[in-house]
Amino acid sequence: MIIEGSYIETNEQYKTGIAIEEYNGVYGIVACQEGKDGKIYSRWGFPEKNKEPSAKAIPWKITLGDGEEAVKRLTMLRAVLLGGDPSGDMDAELPF
């Protein structure tokens, strides 16, 4: 389920973006699109398996882990974007 208020629009023209999704205690970043009704919908696709599309669609998602793991991994990504080293101590205070 997409967490309310987590949607960030990344393409104004096509009304697409990303959001945080929680499913069974595991968080992830999911690709989304705003519908004509203004509701945010997860984008789904058919992943390739043995060079053929699978029969079942799944959300376009990057799994981050449980709440604590998700925060650590997003903090690591933030460090990379700011030009820092993501391999340091994630429990330490960030320099920014």
> Average pLDDT, whole number, for the chain?
88
Residues 35-42 have a mean pLDDT of 94
Pairing of strands 40-42, 44-45: unpaired
pLDDT tens for residues 12-37? Answer: 999 999 999 999 999 999 999 999 99
Q: Could you give phi then psi for residue 47, rounded to 5 degrees?
A: -65, 150
pLDDT tens for residues 72-86? Answer: 999 988 888 888 777
Helix (H) / strand (E) element for 41: namely strand 40-42
Task: Report d(CA 72, CA 62) in Å as an integer.
Answer: 14
Q: Encoding tokens for residue 47?
A: 């992943």
Residues 40-56 have a mean pLDDT of 92
Judged by phi (left if over 0) then psi (alpha if -120 to 50, else beta), residue 83 lies in: left
Q: Containing domain of residue 59, as a range? A: 8-81
Does residue 56 fall inside a structural domain?
Answer: yes
Does residue 94 fall inside a structural domain?
Answer: no
- Is the entire prediction scored with pTM above 0.85? no
Does residue 90 fall inside a structural domain?
Answer: no
